[in-house]
Structure 1
Amino acid sequence: MFERLFKLSEHNTTIRTELVAGVTTFLTMSYIIFVNPDILSTTGMDRDAIFVATCLAPALGSIVMALVANWPIGMAPGMGLNAFFAFTVVAALGFTWQQALGAVFISGLIFVFLTVTGIRSWLIQGIPHSLRSAIATGIGLFLGIIALKNAGIVVDNPATLVGLGSLKAAGPLLAIFGFFVIAVLDALRVKGAILIGILAVTILSWMTGVSEFHGIVSMPPSMAPTFLQLDIVGALHGGLIHVILVFVLVEVFDATGTLIGVAKRANLIQEGKPSRLGRALLADSTAIVAGSLMGTSSTTAYVESASGVQAGGRTGLTALVIAVLFLAALFISPLAASVPTYATAPALLYVAGLMMRELTEVDWEDLTEAAPAALTALAMPFTYSIANGLAFGFISYVVLKLFTGKWRAIHPATLIVAILFVIRFAFFAE
């Protein structure tokens, strides 16, 4: 059956290899089970319901990836997009989480349309490479400041906006310890380093009485508080149009970049030969729609899937194993509820650091490329908004290219996005 479904021999792999690859990928990405409820619950959403959605959405997305695309790639709510959902759309802009879910749903439908019609390829080709790299870096910086704030290491300071928190308090000390655990284990190539770091801080916190232990296993909690609670009509509010644009742009860049990168490493994309990238992107976009119905932010392909590819994963059987393990994780909700915020903060900070390596892809010798990239990356954490970072980057790119005589380098897709952001600031500024 597995041979017929996944063509194992054609991909020069075995059931055992695919099982090992699936477990490996799950261990490297399972931290999202604890981090996502932590982030999204700040909006007022029910934490237990988010936990269930965080397990079900990746399971469904990974099953679709396995059966439709036959690629060894796991899916889960995207880091950065969940932060944008919680801290920008709801906390900063003041929209309800129901409206934010509606925006995710609409962005998913747009992503499906862009993929099916081929517009996605045109859009991706038209966005400058420097801006794509800067977007990943900026999201990393945005996650970094959120992580430091959650850990109590960065605090509000009326005189300087931000300042250093007390490094004698339990939360910051445990967070620092967790970061070092994750970094050291990852440097030693220990599988599941991020998950181990989260659990190490959590257990130490229980042992020292800083936080409470609520148990490990129970029946899955109800998803009713978030299931089908999205407000699609409310998401069509004028102020949310640019939010939907940001969701679509980040989803397209993130998904395409991750899928191409991991697939190339698995030798699934070869010059001159047909690939299943279109099917994989369709799986990604349908997972976004399904996740919004369940009650979580955008679900996307995870770059941690590269760890499973490194372990030999080459087919959808790897993704199917990931899906089964996410379903099994539904039964550990008490453990998820026992994980304090400062235990997930080191994971956020470490992921943030990894995302910043994209800066090396920027052409720093060309100021018309470098300046917009720098603005994109800096504006995200300093305005506490991924949307503002994208706007600053696209608008400045068009302006600099135009007034330095390099207007031919402006792709129509970049120009259209820049104009949309100008309209947003002119008519829909919050």
Structure 2
Amino acid sequence: MLQKLFGFNPKSMQLKTEILAGLTTFLTMSYILAVNPSILSVTGMDKGAVFTATAVASFIATLIMSTWAKLPFALAPGMGLNAFFAFTVCLSMGNTWEFALTAVLIEGILFILLTLSNLREAILNAIPNSLKSAIGAGIGLFIAFIGLQNAGVITNNDATLVTLGNITSGSPLLALIGLAITSVLLIKKVKGSMLWGILATMLIGIPMGITEYNGIISVPPSLAPVFFKFDFSEVFTTKMAFTVFTLLFIDMFDTIGTLVGVSNKAGMMENGKIPHVKEAFMADAIGTTVGAMLGTNTVSTYVESASGIAQGGRSGITSFVTALCFAVALLFAPLFLSIPSAATCPILVLVGLFMMSPIKEIDLDDYTESVPAFICIIIIPMAYSISDGIVLGLISYVLTNLLCGKFKKISITMYILAVLFTLKYLV
């Protein structure tokens, strides 16, 4: 039954490992339950309603991933996408949050159509192997940077952009203590080391005054203030077209990057392709559409899924457990929201390390492969964007090989993508 429902292979997988992996993925990405309502509430959306919408949308999308795609990836309203929704579409462009939700709905429907047409899969298969390896490494640096930033280990500096935070106290100190504990557990090959690392760091944070106990159980806030709140009066305007296209672009390449990078690291690629990738894309598309109806921003596949995969998760059981955790979180919101960013920082840093290994697959002596790959790797964390890293890596790959006369290495799809992406930056 488990094999039929979730793709669980009892010969190569362990049920206990899959469950621990699912719990680890959830704990690593559970911060979205606190962060998403905080960001979207600046638009005037009800914070409690957004919390419920975030949890329900994550549950539905991840459940589809687990039972249909049978892959260990979790989905939730996307970071970066929520900032674009709130700060660009609403605050900067002066639109209502109902307008923004309408754009997300249209994007989700278009994503479903694009997935049915196999266009997303064609784009994925066109990416060269060297760039696929680079995407994984770039994402590794990116999520490690996110973890260090969230915990305050790395902070803003007007002169140098970033700098080392005050690591002798508070959240940064707790994050480093957690990193030391989790690293030792990992080196000692303790089962569930990632999960135990999160829990140990969380407990140490109590006497330090960083882990805030907010209670255990509460009734989920009502969805009514944001449920099905659309504004179709400006569907055919230029600003709606711009908003939908931007959301489509960011989500498509964030998802492609995450699926490629994490699958490559986990050894799940089959002849350079991800199994059940069409179903994985559909989980993303349906999740976005349903999420808009519930009252939240674009749903995407999370790079934090790598934490569960690093723990040994390989089947849909991992994502199924994560989905159940999102459902449970509706009732135990105060408890889950007590997990500080310092407790998830060590996991993201170590997963970042794990994801650097695909660099070994890149031929560094062949500069037509290594230069575009390096551009992709370095842009992802520095531009704080998986999609921009992929795009600039792909453009540089086409240009480098074209100028060197290696025309046969470039497919028609790659030429078309390079032209379209170049126009994106010029227009």
User: Please, what TM-score do these two structures have when normalized by structure 2?
Assistant: 0.78
Aligned Cα RMSD in Å? 4.0
**Closer, same or farther: CA 409–100 of 1 in aligned 2, 3 Å:** farther
Give the aligned partner of residue 19 of structure 2. Answer: 23
Q: Is the CA contact (8 Å cut-off) linking 1:99 and 1:231 kept in structure 2?
A: yes
Distance 1:264 1:57 in 2: 26
The answer to whether the 8 A contact 2:401-2:410 is kept is: yes
Superimposed CA distance per residue, residues 3-39 of structure 1 (whole angstroms, 9 cap, x where no aligned partner): 8x9389x98759xx98646523322212145222354
Q: Is the 8 A contact 1:148 1:154 kept in 2?
A: yes
- Cα distance, 1:86–1:281 mapped onto 2, change above 3 Å: closer
Paired letter, 2:36: L
Deviation, 1:367, is 0.9
Letter in 2 for 1:369: E
Q: Whole-Å Cα distance in 2 between the matches of residues 335 and 355 of structure 1?
A: 30
Helix, strand or coil for the counterpart of 1:236? helix
Query: One-letter code of the match for 2:140?
Result: G
Counterpart check, 1:204 vs 2:204: yes
CA separation in 2, counterparts of 1:348 and 1:164?
17
Compared CA separation, residues 24 and 148, structure 1 to 2 (3 A) = closer
Q: What corresponds to 1:286 in structure 2?
A: 286
1:178 aligns with 2:178: yes
CA 1:228–1:68 in 2, change beyond 3 Å: closer, same or farther?
A: same
| Structure 1 pair 293–6 and aligned structure 2 pair: CA distance change class (3 A) | same
Question: 1:78-89 maps to which residues of 2 (within 5 A)?
Answer: 82-86=78-82
Contact 2:266 2:310 in 1 (8 A): no
- Which is worse superposed, 46-55 or 209-218? 46-55
Cα pair distance change 1:126/1:102, threshold 3 Å? farther
1:189–1:28 CA distance, 2 compared to 1 (3 A): farther
SS of the equivalent of 1:60 reads helix
Q: 1:204/1:75 Cα in 2 relative to 1: closer, same or farther (>3 Å)?
A: same
Q: 1:426 and 2:426 equivalent?
A: yes
SS in 2 for 1:162: strand
The answer for unaligned runs of 5 or more in structure 2 is: none
| Shift of residue 228, structure 1, vs aligned partner | 4.2
Residue of structure 1 in register with 2:358 after alignment = 358
Equivalent position to 2:32, from 24, 30, 36: 36
Match status 1:371 vs 2:371 = yes
Asked if 1:300 is matched to 2:301, the reply is yes
CA displacement 1:112-159 (0-9 Å, x = unmatched):
334322333322221112222222322332333332222222223333
Aligned residue for 1:351, secondary structure, equals helix
- Secondary structure of the structure 2 residue equivalent to 1:135: helix
Contact 1:259 1:280 in 2 (8 A): no
- The one-letter code of the counterpart of 2:24 is T
Q: Which residue in the other structure is 1:76 paired with?
A: 75
| 1:320 Cα deviation from its structure 2 partner | 5.0
Aligned length: 409
Aligned twin of 1:213: 213
SS in 2 for 1:156: strand
Question: Aligned equivalents of 1:416 and 1:119: distance in 2?
Answer: 13
**One-letter amino acid matched to 1:30:** F
- Distance change >3 Å, CA 77–CA 231, structure 1 → 2: farther
What is residue 245 of structure 1 aligned with on the other side?
249
Change (3 A) 1:338 1:371: same
The answer to whether the 8 Å contact 2:137/2:261 transfers is no
Letter in 2 for 1:208: M
Deviates most, 106-115 or 212-221? 106-115
Secondary structure at the counterpart of residue 331 of structure 1:
coil
The answer on whether the counterparts of 1:84 and 1:386 sit within 8 Å (CA) in structure 2 is no
Distance 2:104 2:410 in 1: 29
After TM superposition, the structure 1 = structure 2 runs for residues 59-138 of structure 1, keeping only pairs within 5 Å, are: 59-65=59-65, 67-68=67-68, 71=70, 73=72, 75-77=74-76, 82-86=78-82, 105-138=105-138
Q: Structure 1, unaligned stretches of length 5 or more?
A: none
1:198 CA drift (Å): 3.0
Tell me the distance in 1 between the aligned counterparts of 2:5 and 2:36. 39
Cα 1:205–1:180 change in 2 (3 A) is same
Distance 1:259 1:92, change over 3 A: same
- The separation in 2 between residues aligned to 1:183 and 1:98, in whole angstroms, is 45
What is the alpha-carbon distance in structure 1 between the residues aligned to residue 378 and residue 364 of structure 2?
15
| Secondary structure class of the residue paired with 2:423 | helix
Report the Cα distance in structure 2 between the residues aligned to 1:183 and 1:193, rounded to whole angstroms: 8
Structure 1 window deviating more from structure 2 (405-414 vs 150-159): it is: 150-159
3-state DSSP of counterpart to 2:75 = strand
Q: Deviations over 1:291-337 (max 9, x none)?
A: 444425434384566579x68x86x6776555444423322201123
Alignment correspondent of 1:341: 341
The one-letter amino acid paired with 1:298 is: V
Q: Say which of 254, 258, 262 aligns to 1:254.
A: 258
In structure 2, distance between residues paired with 1:192 and 1:422: 45
State the 1:174 CA deviation. 0.4
SS in structure 2 at match of 1:219: coil
**1:31-84 C-alpha deviation (Å, 9 max, x unpaired):** 145222354355244665555445433432344345545x36453338xxx343
Measure, in 1, the Cα distance between the counterparts of 2:208 and 2:380.
Answer: 36
Q: Percent identity?
A: 30
Provide closer, same or farther for how the CA distance between residues 139 and 304 of structure 1 changes in structure 2, counting only shifts above 3 A.
closer
| Aligned partners of 1:284 and 1:299 also within 8 Å | yes
Distance 1:319 1:192 in 2: 16
Which residue of structure 1 lines up, in the alignment, with residue 148 of structure 2? 148
For the 8 Å contact 1:221–1:333, the answer to whether it is kept is no
Cα 1:231–1:369 shift into 2, 3 Å: farther
Distance 1:161 1:7 in 2: 48
Q: Cα distance 1:264–1:62, how it changes in 2: closer, same or farther (>3 A)?
A: same
Cα offsets for 1:228-261 (capped at 9, x unmatched): 4577859734266244223112323434675798
User: Distance in 2 between the 1:89 and 1:358 partners?
Assistant: 33
Alpha-carbon contact 1:182-1:197 (below 8 Å) kept: yes
